[in-house]
Every structure is written in C-alpha cells, then in structure tokens.
C-alpha cells in the first residue's frame, strides 16, 4: 500500500472525502517520514507533531459531523519560516529573529486555518529569503532529497524538500526573484508564483516589498491551483492586493490555439546541456499537444538581473533597518548606544544579508541614488513594456527555470555573482510582477537530477497558465 504521505493534495482530498483514510492517519505518516529523514536533510526547523495530530483529530471529527471546514480540511501543510503563525517562533532563518514569537497569523495562514489545514511545521530557508541555495540559514543548510551533497535551491529550499521528500502534502514558499520556482525545479516538484497583488503579503516577513509574493509548492499543477485558490484574493491589510476577477480553473485537454513564445535571448551560453535537452523535449511535447511554438525577441533579459540586484538590495536595506537591536530583533545587552546598534546587527545578520544591506544602502545614498536606484526603476519600466509587447503575439513564454541542475553544497558560495546568475530566467517575472510556474520536465541525462520547465503568463492570467502547465504535465507522465 502506498504510504499516505506520498499522496498528492488532490488524491488526499479525494481519499478523505470518501472515507478510505483519516486525517490522523495522513498526518501520522507525514510526521513519521519527517522525523525519520529531517535529521539528514534539515528541511524543517520545527515540527509541530503534537499540535498537528490534535488538529487532525479535530478535522476527522468535523468530517464525521458533516461540518468540513473547506477543501483543505485535514490536509497537512508546511509554512516557510518567514510566514507568520500565531504563537509560534517565526525567524526568517535568522539569528536576528531567533526568539520572535508571532503575535498574529499572516493572512495566508489565517485563510489556511479557516479551511481546516493542518500546519505541520516551519521550513528552513535562506536567511531573510536571500539566497538561491538554502545554504544561508542560521539553522544550517538544507540538503537535496536525492543527493545530500547538493543544494535544494533557495530561498524556499526547506519547503521544496519537505514536499519532494513527502514530509508534507504541500507547502507555501515566498518568491522575490525565483525563490519558489528555482528550488521547485531543483527538487522535481511544482512551484507557482502568482501575479504580484494576487496573494496578500500581510504577515510575510518582508525582503523586498515590491517583489515578494507568496505561492504554492506542490506535487502536481492541480494541487498548486487548489492551494493558490485557498490563499488568493484582496486583503484590507495589504493595499497592494488587487481587486480582480475571481480565479476559476479552466483545464484543457489539448493546447490547440495556444501560442508559446521562446525568447531568443534565453537560449545562449551558460545552460547545461542536460537542461537544454530536457526543455527541448518538453517543447516537442507541447507541439504534439497542438501548441504553436513561436521564437520571439524579449529585450532586457540580462538587464532584468541587473535591475533586480539594484532594486532588491535597496528595499532590503530599508526593510531591515527596523531590526536594529532597539526596536526589533536581537539585542546585545550592557552596551553603549552606538555599540548596541552596531554589535547587535553584526551578531544577528549573516554575511549575505550584510552584503545586500550594504549594497542597498550604497545605491540609495546621496550622489548614487540617481545613478543606481532611479536608473533601475526606469529600466524596470522598459522590462514591463517588453513583456506587454511579447504577450501581443503569444499566450505564455517558455524557458528553463534555471540554467543548471542542483549544484554541490559550497560550490558557489565563494562567488556571489555566480550564485546570482542562477536567477537569470526567473527574476524578470518578479521585476514585471507577472505569474509564472515551474513544472518538472524530467531528469538531466548529465547527472540524473531534476530539470524545471518555466512558463510565464500575462498579469492575472493564472487560470490559463495553470491550464497549460497541467496539460503538459498530464502528457509528459
């Protein structure tokens, strides 16, 4: 018999509804797997075993009485460690917030709880979501579920491993420049970043507020749609959320009439041969489904990475200024005023966070603001216009999710620029605020590790994007 923790969300929901399993059984299997493997993979910082099993029994009781709370009732989920969960420590993977207990729920957490979801634990992450490998956590690196000597991707690496290793049925991550999609690609799962403004960021510990977005990490595209629908929608606590048409899934049997754009700028040097092979094969699958494949120009692909690494550190510098040892965050005691600020921040923040704070502070400083930040905002407008123009002729854009498969732990930490290039295919979507998804497209013939297919759609066109991704997923199985 298949262990229950290996079920997809869709399968688990159906089994719970027809009474062949209970939520307690499902949760126990997840807990057992997590306790057995987490010591070697370090995907979860904390496992809420007792609380989760109590919630599971409550869900089973509601179901017996015909009072199911919603589509997620009794489903075990994991939250990234930067999404607030009332009464629990949420630290964003940092010593600075190691003792921070959430006073309230994030809006997405509140929505999950209202639908009866079981919060199984908090997932490891790069400190304050700054990283592409999950090596930058104060709690130690998370390891790849297939090869513990490799990284799982970041910054939502803990969430990705928890799903891929079947610790949980699904998880939430956050995506500022690819932090859901790149680890999803590395670990062979689905990672979905909605349009900026589709999902409330209230209760998400901010990295770069104009770029951050919460999204699902799941075993299938349909699972991602279910979880996305549960958390999306406007929120009075986040004024950047958009009032738009409700999300309604519209699944497709084929892709006749769908136009898929291949940006010429995305197929140059730097891509591993095995990644190119698997993505090329995925394009053939899409053709066989009836899709029209069109080569297009998408200007500013490389500039998007530069723009991201100016705008993001500037917002990091501003957002993390509150964590000063006085108002919030770690405070070293018995020091004079200046030393309290300086030494608390030096002790609380890791090297990558310090690097980005310094870069952002420099770019915002007098004499450099116009040369860096203001110039980056102008190019951001050009990037957005380039995507709008591209979508005049195609419905979605297709690239690899990452130029490589999962690399060895320690391989790129000494060279930040090499690490930053892992985001080359994903950052443009955040700069433009668009929805995108990474779907597994097989294992690289070079090393047997997962490769991700990356699809991007127009703003708020999540239904079409998910339908195309699902159609590919079904055909490629």
The reply to whether 95 belongs to the active site is: no
Q: What is the pLDDT of residue 266?
A: 86
pLDDT of residue 268: 77
Comparing CA positions, the residue from 477, 464, 454, 401 lying closest to residue 257 is 464
Rounded Cα distance, 343 and 72, in Å: 45
3-state SS, residue 254: coil
385 labelled catalytic: no
Q: pLDDT value at position 413?
A: 86
Task: Compute the distance between CA of residue 435 and CA of residue 469 in angstroms, rounded to an integer.
Answer: 12
Residue 76 three-state SS: strand
What is the pLDDT tens value at each position of the chain, 477 positions in all? 789 999 999 999 999 999 999 999 999 999 999 999 999 999 999 999 999 999 999 999 999 999 999 999 999 999 999 999 999 999 999 999 999 999 999 999 999 999 999 999 999 999 999 999 999 999 999 999 999 999 999 999 999 999 999 999 999 999 999 999 999 999 999 999 999 999 999 999 999 999 999 999 999 999 999 999 999 999 999 999 999 888 999 999 999 999 999 999 888 778 999 999 999 999 999 999 999 999 999 999 889 999 999 999 999 999 999 999 888 999 999 899 889 989 999 999 999 999 999 999 999 999 999 999 999 999 999 999 999 999 999 999 999 999 999 999 999 988 888 888 889 999 999 999 999 999 999 999 999 999 999 999 999 999 999 999 999 999 998
Task: Tally DSSP H helices, then E strands, for the chain.
Answer: 15, 11
In the prediction, which pLDDT does 136 show? Answer: 96
What pLDDT does 10 receive? 98
Q: One of 80, 193, 219, 252 is an active-site residue; which one?
A: 80
Known catalytic residue at 80:
yes
What sign results for the dihedral spanned by CA atoms 69, 70, 71, 77? Answer: negative
Q: What is the pLDDT of residue 271?
A: 92
Domains of the chain and CATH, by start: 4-231 (3.90.1300.10)
Give the integer Cα–Cα distance in Å for 110 and 86: 9
CB atoms within 10 A of CB 421: 18
User: How far is residue 42's CA from residue 44's CA, in Å, rounded to a whole number?
Assistant: 6
Give the C-alpha separation, 113 to 117, whole Å.
Answer: 5
Q: What is the pLDDT of residue 2?
A: 85
CB neighbours of 431 closer than 8 A, spacing ≥ 6? 211, 304, 307, 308, 311, 380, 383, 384
Q: What is the pLDDT of residue 365?
A: 94
* Order of strands across the sheet that contains 44-47: 44-47, 118-123, 76-80, 170-175, 213-218, 190-193, 436-443, 450-457, 396-400, 259-263, 292-296
**Separation between Cα atoms, residue 136 and residue 138, nearest integer Å:** 7
- Burial of 25 per CB tally in 10 Å (0-12, 13-18, 19+): middle
pLDDT of residue 327: 86
* pLDDT given at position 335: 92
pTM over 0.95: yes
- Neighbour-count burial of 285, counting CB atoms closer than 10 A to its CB (0-12 exposed, 13-18 middle, 19+ buried): middle
- Note whether 185 and 402 are within 8 A (CB): yes
With a CB cutoff of 8 Å and minimum separation 6, the contacts of 331 are: 325, 340, 344
- Active-site entry in 132, 155, 159, 200: 155
Written as one string, the DSSP assignment of 438-477 is EEEEEE-TTTS-EEEEEEEESTT-HHHHHHHHHHHHHHH-
Residue 133: per-residue pLDDT: 97
User: Catalytic pick from 23, 132, 133, 179?
Assistant: 179
């Amino acid at each position: 018999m298949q262990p229950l923790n290996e079920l997809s969300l869709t399968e688990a929901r159906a089994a719970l509804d027809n009474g062949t399993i209970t939520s307690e059984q499902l949760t126990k299997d997840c807990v057992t797997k997590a306790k057995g493997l987490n010591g070697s993979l370090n995907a979860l910082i904390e496992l809420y075993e007792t609380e989760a099993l109590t919630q599971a029994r409550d869900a089973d009781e509601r179901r017996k009485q015909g009072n199911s709370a919603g589509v997620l009732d009794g489903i075990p989920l994991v939250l990234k460690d930067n999404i607030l969960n009332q009464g629990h420590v949420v630290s964003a993977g940092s010593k600075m917030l190691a003792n921070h207990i959430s006073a309230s729920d994030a809006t997405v957490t509140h929505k999950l709880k209202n639908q009866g979801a079981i919060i199984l634990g908090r997932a490891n992450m790069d400190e304050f979501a700054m990283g592409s490998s999950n090596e930058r956590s104060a709690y130690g690196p998370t390891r790849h579920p297939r090869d513990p000597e490799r990284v799982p991707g970041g910054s939502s690496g803990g969430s990705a491993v928890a799903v891929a290793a079947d610790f949980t049925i699904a998880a939430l991550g956050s995506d500022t420049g690819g932090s859901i999609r790149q680890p999803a690609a590395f670990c062979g799962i689905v990672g979905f970043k909605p349009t900026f403004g589709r999902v409330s960021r209230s209760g998400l510990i901010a990295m770069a507020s104009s770029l951050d977005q919460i999204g699902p990490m799941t075993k299938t595209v349909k699972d991602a749609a279910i979880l996305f629908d549960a958390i999306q929608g406007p929120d009075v606590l986040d004024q950047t959320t958009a009032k738009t048409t409700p999300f309604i899934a519209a699944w497709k049997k084929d892709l006749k009439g769908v136009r898929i754009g291949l940006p010429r700028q995305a197929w140059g040097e730097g891509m591993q041969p095995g990644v190119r092979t698997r993505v090329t094969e995925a394009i053939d699958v899409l053709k066989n489904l009836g899709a029209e494949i069109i080569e297009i120009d998408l200007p500013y692909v490389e500039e998007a990475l530069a723009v991201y690494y100016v705008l993001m550190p500037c917002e990091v510098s501003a957002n993390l200024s509150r964590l000063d040892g006085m108002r919030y965050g770690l405070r070293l005691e018995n020091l004079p005023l200046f030393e309290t600020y300086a030494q608390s921040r030096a002790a609380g923040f890791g090297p990558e966070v310090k690097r980005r704070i310094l870069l952002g502070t420099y770019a915002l400083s007098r004499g450099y603001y116009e040369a860096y930040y203001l110039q980056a905002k102008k190019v951001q407008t050009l990037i957005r216009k380039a995507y709008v123009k591209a979508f005049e002729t195609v419905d979605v854009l297709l690239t690899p999710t990452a130029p490589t498969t999962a690399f060895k732990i320690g391989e790129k930490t000494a060279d930040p620029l090499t690490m930053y290039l892992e985001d080359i295919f994903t950052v443009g979507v955040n700069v433009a605020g668009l929805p995108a998804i990474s779907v597994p497209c097989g294992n690289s013939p070079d090393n047997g590790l997962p490769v991700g297919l990356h699809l991007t759609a127009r703003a708020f066109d999540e239904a079409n994007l998910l339908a195309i991704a699902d159609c590919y997923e079904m055909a490629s199985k």
